Structure formats: structure tokens, C-alpha cells
Chains A and B, each alone.
Chain A
Amino acid sequence: MKRILFKSGTLVDPSSGRVWQADLLVEEGRIKAIDSGLVPPRGTEVVNAGGCLIFPGCVDVHVHLREPGFEHKETIATGVRAAVRGGFVAVAAMPNTRPVADSAAVVGYVRARGEEEGLAQVFPVGALSRGSEGKEMAPLGEMRQAGAVAFSDDGRWLADAQLMRRVMEYARMLKAPVISHCEEPALTKGGVMNEGITATVLGLRGMPAAAEEIAVARDIILAEFTGCHLHVAHISTAGAVRLVREARSRGLKVTAEVTPHHFTLTEEAVQGYNTNAKVNPPLRTRADVEALREALADGTIDIIATDHAPHAREEKEVEFDQAPFGISGLETAIALVFTELVHKGVLDLPQAAAKLSLNPRRLLGLPGGVLAEGEPAELTLIDPEREEEVDPATFASKGRNTPFAGWRLKGWPVGVVVRGKWIPVRPLPGEGLREI
């Protein structure tokens, strides 16, 4: 029987808002005991967690693992390694693979491949429409039985309001959320970055904030109409934040996630035609970034997700308008949360833990997210003082497409407990500079 004792860590429990120092004993995949001065039974693996924060295991509700079909960008094997290295114990895999995860077979395949790897858990998201083409409803019920935790045509907005209404009614019946990539395509056709002064100067076609806001507004109205849980993916504009805030104030089942790149960078990052800053939704303005941070602080945005979108180097090393959208985000997310939000006082520790663990789990209907005896022992250990430069060459992900290369960030994951195993990924604060 496998036992691990984490000595003297600082526990952060988002469910109670408590932050306290204690020892934590893991046994058979559950939290067996939390107390000070716990004495390890014989045969216990002891981890000196002094100087570490212990969060419930972080979950990323928005990743692209690219398998099946785009294995040159990422595989489930490399994706779950990137997740663990980034401090995540579970990820929700978006269905825009080839074939699209619009059937029980593909959903089951993704789930099974994740289990085979035995690292971060992989929870598949099923498509809303067949082939994510926005025309016919995909078999949501069968996919749900095969393990789909949510439904989305991510990458595309389901523009047909009648079909969206039907899938929302269906998803509500299945007790699964609909995750919407909110983008009115008529307004973004040919667009490659945010519409505004930077796009004007660079001569690049813009994607206006209005395209996102129109889509968010319609989807909120349909969520109210159908009673379905709407989750707004990668929210990026001040106007979209206002709409979500208003919906939540009326008690609607509407949640939203923001990515680290959207709460950190502005459209200026595209200067020099940096294809690693080409992402959809596009990086917006300073005012949008401020609105996103405010919405994180006041709870309008309850989840931080990466939209991890790995691409091969040669795909990004082209003219700007030819490059695919996307940022490889799993391995910098927690460090950006600490550097940009925690250390700058935007979020306190329980808030940060809630947005990385408890709230993502609630969205996907997963247990856990709580640090208490008897709870599942999925944990993320973070050294909030560790400073490290982002070096894409060290990524476990195949995708090295990050605009943060060379950034010095403070606050990095040092290891996770997943499936009852302790997996260190960086030196513990007490261990000095030894690299793993």
C-alpha cells in the first residue's frame, strides 16, 4: 500500500478559503490525514514540502492534444507529459482532431489512450455537431456514455441558432455543459489579429471584439432559454466580460474561462509579425486585459484554462497570415498565474487554487478540488518563490510555440500527485538547484 507524506507544506483549500501549514498524508489515492507533526508509518515516502504551496490537483479544461490525426503537433503521450510538467493532473481534450471527436468511438479512443499513459487524466470533450460542421447534431448521448465530460465545437462557433438551441437542450438533459468558442465568423473572415491600431499599422486584417461579444450575447440568451450550462471558452474582451457578469448576476448557469496569454499580453505582442502571438481569440488591448483581471478578481471569470494549442515549428515559421492560430500553454500557465495574478495581488491563494482546481472540476462534474481527509489525493505542489526563464526547448510538449520564451517567471509547479503517485517535475525549495 502506497503512502506519501508531505511534510510542512502550506495547504491552500479553495473550498474553505483556508491557507495553513500542515503535514498531509496520502494513502491509497486518498488524503488520509492532514495535521501538524504527522509521524510517517513505516514504508512511507516522505517529501519535504517546506516552502511549497499544496493546491488540490490543477485541471485544465481546455487543451488540444491533436491525437488522432495531427500527431506531428502533439500526441496524447506528449500532451499528458506537458500537463504534468505544467502542474496539471487532468485535462479536457477538445474534439477538433481528425477525425473529429464526434462519435463514441473517437471519444472512447482519446479516453483510453489517456488511461494507457497513466499520467495526467484525459477527459474528452465531444463535438456538438457532426464533424463540427455546424449542420447536424452529433450523438451526444453515446459520447456521454463513452466518457465525454462536456460538448463543444471549439475552434468554430455554432452559428445556426436553432441547432445550438437543440444541442443545449440535449446537453442539459445529459447534465453536461456546452463550451462555446464565441466568434461570429462573418465579422472575422480573413482576420488574423485584434482589430485596432496595431492591425492598422501592421497591415493585418482585424478581428473585432464585437465578433466575440455578439456570439457571447446570443449564447447567453440561448442558455437562459434552454436552461443549459453555458461555458464561455477563452473569454478575451471587456464587452464579453460585461455580458457574462450580467448573466451571472441573474443566476444563470454561465461560467467563463480565461487563458494566461489573454490576461497577460496585449495585441502589441504581435509586433514584428510574431506568429507565436497569433492566437484565436486574438490578443486584445490593455483595457481588455484590465477587464479580464478585474473579472478574475470579482469571480465573473471562474476558471483559468490554457487553450493549449501546440503546432509544429515549420507551421509557425511562415508569413503571419499563413500561420495557424495557437499557443502551447500547458507548461507556462501556473507560472503566469503566479507572476501576473498572485504576486501582483489580483488573486489571493484560495482564489487562484479555485480557478485552477475546484472550479474546473465542478464544470466537468469531477470530484475533488478540496483539501480534506477522505478526499481524492490529487495535488499540485508549487514553489511560489522559484524563478525560472521560459525555455521552450525544455518543453515536454511537441509544441514550442510560445510568446513567453525568455520571460523570467516567478512561481512554478514542482510536482503533482496523480493516480496515487508523486511525480516531481522541479526541485523542491529545499533541494537547491538540482534539475530533474
Chain B
Amino acid sequence: MALRRKDLLGLADLSPEEIEHLLEQAEAMREVLEREIKKVPALRGRVVVNLFYEPSTRTRFSFELAAKYLSAETVSVAAATASVVKGEGLLDTARTVEALGADVVVLRHPSAGAAAFLARHVKAAVINAGDGMHEHPTQALLDLFTVKRHKGRIEGLTVTIVGDILHSRVARSNIWGFSKLGARVRVCGPATLIPPGLEELGVGVYYRLEEALEGADVVYILRLQRERFSEQTFLPGPEEYARLYGLNRERLQLAQPDALVMHPGPMNRGLEIAAEVAELDRAVIEEQVTNGVAVRMACLYLLMRRGEV
């Protein structure tokens, strides 16, 4: 079964069945990654273009590897070298990419909705690799995949997401993903970094980390972007943040004894997460990275199979 959609723009659009299907496919891809020769011919002759308007190391490498393991041709364009600097708009770039014969465009862009905009203007499949504060669907899929591997299920779990929810596309995609698969989602952070209306999505909002951690099965720590301290006054400073919202061993004890600790990376050790916590066995942060490749292979594969079924 393929996905019945041209693009992967966000988890808000996906049904629970579609998400489950992607996760099952990722399981198969994960097996490929465990082989000695990590290559299958599934996307031979297909062209995947990674179009990155924001700096990114992990996501870009992850997509590149995913495409390569599926035998697709890949081209990566970083904003600094792209025609962006010549003032070419996203629409023009999209048309160029299309004319060059891309089958899939993986887009990372600072504007929310950029992937949806691109998807409307090109025939190629578009995968959103992060659009402003909106969504980062493959990150949430790999997080779901990782949790499912460890817990065997998503339904009924309590997931606590901690940090700058307001600016986080990872938080938004994870709220959709975990909620749709039946988990209880809590968010926790200072009031200035919690966007309005989350309760309407069924999310529990907490300002005290201790309360938010109580009984949690998954503790998901977001990266605190230090530029937030300067551009507007969201927070008094990093020291206070670390004191109130930093995850340390003591606080983690409030969660379930086997609670997973997750982080989308890169981490600020000592700020949002204590180094000793990040090194625990149940901190699955590196495994998230590995699983990211499998999940992205599944996304590429299922979107490309759409035309064949």
C-alpha cells in the first residue's frame, strides 16, 4: 500500500492509519540499515532534491543517506549556494527544480507554509523537512518510531514535551503525532514560550516541570535556542531557565522509572538537559538519529510508490 497523497507536509494532515503505515514501512527500512550492504534498488533512477534554506546538518545528511540507500540520485542545494542569494524567489526555484526533473523535493525553509506553497506549484512530491515554526513531520515520525520500538505502543502513554513550544515545529508535529496515536501529551515551559490555544488540541499545559514530569513515559526535551534571549524578552536568561526547566537526574525520578529521554538535537548540555541525564541508557537520543534515516527512507519510498499502484 502506498500513501494516497502527493506530499508529506505535516502530521496535522495525516490520519492515524497513514502514520501507522509509515511506521511499519520504517520498520522494514530499519532492517535494511542493519544489513552489511545497506542498499536496495527501490528508487533507482529517481531524483531527490534536498533544498535547504536553513542551516541543517542532521536532517540534511539523514535525507541524503536515506535517498542513497534507496539508490536514488540526490542533489543537495544549500541556501548559501542557491540562487536565493541572487534574489530568486521560492516559486522560481521550484520551477527550476521541476524543470530539472526532480521526483521528490525535500524542503527546509524558515517560513511556515513554505512546503505547502511549493507543493501547490510543483508536480514533484514535496517532503517538509521543517518550515518555520509550523511542522517537522519526519522528526515526529522518527520520534514515534523510536518510542514504539521501546514501548511497543504509543496509545495510553504520557508524553511530556519540555521547552520552547512557541517556536518549535518539532513540538507541533509531535503534538499531532502522539495525540493521533492515542498518547496523552503534556507541554511544559515558561508562559512566554507556550503558544495560545493548545488546550483546544487536547494538550495539557504545565508551567512547573515537576508536575509535568509526574508519571511521564516519555520526556521530550526541546533545544532552547539561545537567540531567543536577545531578540525579544521571552526569558530572563539561560541561568534561570536551566534552574527551572533543566532536566536533571533528580527531576527525572518523578517520571516513570523506565521513562525514555529524548531530544531532537543538537543538545545544550547543562542548559535544557544535564549531561548525566543525556548519557543514561534510556536517553535514546542517538538512536533517534539512526531511526531518522529509516523513517525518511519509508517516507521517500511510500511517496514514490504512489504513482505505481
Residues on A lying within 8 angstroms of B by beta carbon are 189, 195-206, 272-273, 317-322
Residues B131 and A197 in contact, CB atoms below 8 Å apart: no
- A196 and B199 CA atoms in complex are apart in Å by 11
Contacts of A272 in B (CB 8 A): 116
B116 near A273: Cβ-Cβ < 8 Å: yes
Given contacts A202-B134, A203-B131, A203-B133, contact A319 B198 (CB under 8 A): no
Which of B12, B111, B133 counts the most chain A CB atoms within 10 A?
A: B111
Chain B residues in 8 Å Cβ range of A205: 133
Q: Is the CB of B263 closer than 8 A to any CB of chain A? A: no
Q: Mark B216-227, 1 if CB is under 8 A from A, else 0.
A: 000000000000
CB of B307 closer than 8 Å to a CB of A: no
CB proximity of B6 to chain A, nearest CB, Å: 15
Are A200's CB and B116's CB within 8 A?
no
| Cα distance, A396 to B244, chains bound together (Å) | 59
The answer to whether B109 has its CB under 8 Å from any CB of chain A is yes
Which of these, A199, A201, A317, A321, contacts B111 with CB under 8 Å? A321
Q: A196-B196, A203-B112 are known contacts. Are A273 and B133 too (CB-CB below 8 A)?
A: no
Cα distance, A202 to B116, chains bound together (Å): 11
Query: Across the interface, do B91 and A196 meet the contact criterion of CB distance under 8 Å?
Result: no
Measured CA separation A206–B169 after assembly (Å): 16
The 8 Å CB contact of B90, one of A197, A201, A319, is: A319
Kindly state the interface size class of chain B when it binds its partner. 20 to 34
Given that A203-B132, A203-B135 are known contacts, is A273 also in contact with B197, CB under 8 Å in the complex? no
Q: Which residues from 57 to 95 on chain B have a C-beta closer than 8 Å to any C-beta of chain A?
A: 89-91
Q: Which residues of B contact A201 (CB under 8 A)?
A: 12, 172, 197, 201
Contact (Cβ within 8 A) B113 A200: no
Report how far A355 CA is from B90 CA in the complex, Å.
Answer: 43
Can you pick out 5 interface pairs between chain A and chain B where the beta carbons lie within 8 Å of each other? A189-B232, A203-B131, A203-B133, A273-B116, A320-B117
Say whether B281 faces chain A, with CB atoms less than 8 Å apart.
no
Chain A residues contacting B134 (CB-CB under 8 Å) are 202-204
Q: Given contacts A201-B12, A203-B172, are A195 and B117 in contact (CB under 8 A)?
A: no
User: Closest residue to A205 on the B side, CB-wise?
Assistant: B133
Q: Which residues of A contact B91 (CB under 8 A)?
A: 317-318
Compute how far the CA of A272 lies from the CA of B89 in the bound complex, rounded to whole angstroms. 19
User: Could you list which residues of chain B lie within 8 angstroms of chain A, going by C-beta atoms?
Assistant: 12, 89-91, 109, 111-114, 116-117, 131-135, 169, 172, 195-198, 200-201, 232
Complex Cα spacing A202 to B172, Å: 9
Determine the distance from Cα of A203 to Cα of B116 in the docked complex, in whole angstroms.
Answer: 13
Flag if A202 contacts B197 (CB, 8 Å).
no
A189 CB contacts on chain B under 8 angstroms: 232
Main secondary structure on B side of the interface with A: mixed
Contacts of B90 in A (CB 8 A): 318-319
State how many angstroms separate the Cβ of A191 from the closest Cβ of chain B: 12
Assess A200 versus B195: contact at CB under 8 Å? Given A273-B117, A320-B113: yes
Interface pair A200/B112, CB less than 8 Å apart: no
Residues of chain B within 8 A (CB-CB) of A317 are 91
B201: chain A residues within 8 A (beta carbon): 197, 201
Residue pair A200, B196 in contact (C-beta under 8 Å): yes
Alpha-carbon gap, A195 to B91, bound state (A): 27
Q: Select from chain A the residue with minimum beta-carbon distance to B168.
A: A203
| Residues from chain A with Cβ under 8 Å of B89 in the complex | 318
User: When chains A and B are docked, how far (Å) is the Cα of A195 from the Cα of B133?
Assistant: 14
A189, A201, A322 interface centre (most CB from chain B within 10 Å): A201
Q: How far is the CA of A204 from the CA of B197 in the complex (A)?
A: 13
User: A319-B113, A321-B112, A322-B111 are contacts. A197–B197 as well, Cβ < 8 Å?
Assistant: yes
Q: Do A321 and B132 touch (CB < 8 A)? A: yes
Separation of A203 and B201 alpha carbons in the complex (Å): 14
Taking a contact as CB atoms under 8 Å apart, the answer to whether B132 and A200 are in contact is no
* Contact, CB under 8 Å: A196 / B109: no
Partner among A196, A204, A319, A322 whose Cβ is within 8 Å of the Cβ of B133: A204
Residues of B near A196 (CB, < 8 A) are 196-197
A319 vs B109: C-alpha distance when bound (angstroms): 10
How far, in angstroms, from A204 to B113 measured CA to CA in the complex? 9
Closest residue to A204 on the B side, CB-wise? Answer: B112
Which of B116, B117, B169, B201 counts the most A-chain CB atoms under 10 A from its CB?
A: B117
B197 contacts A200, CB within 8 Å? yes
Contacts of B200 in A (CB 8 A): 197
Chain B residue at minimal CB-CB distance from A272: B116
- The reply to whether A202 and B112 contact each other, CB–CB distance below 8 Å, is yes
Q: Given the complex, which residues of A lie within 8 Å of B12, measured CB to CB?
A: 201
| Cα–Cα, bound, A198→B132 (Å) | 15
Which chain A positions have C-beta within 8 A of B172?
200-201, 203
Distance, CA A204 to CA B114, complexed state (A): 11
User: Closest CB-CB distance, B39 to chain A, in whole Å?
Assistant: 36
Residue of B nearest to A317 (CB): B91
Known contacts A201-B197, A318-B90; 17 further A-B pairs (Cβ under 8 A): A197-B197, A197-B200, A200-B197, A201-B12, A201-B201, A202-B113, A203-B132, A203-B135, A203-B172, A319-B109, A320-B111, A320-B112, A320-B113, A321-B111, A321-B112, A321-B113, A322-B111
Q: Return the chain A residue nearest B176 by Cβ.
A: A201
A321–B134 alpha-carbon span in the complex (Å): 12
Q: Within the complex, what minimum Cβ distance (angstroms) separates A51 from chain B? A: 42
Question: Which chain A residue lies CB-closest to B200?
Answer: A197
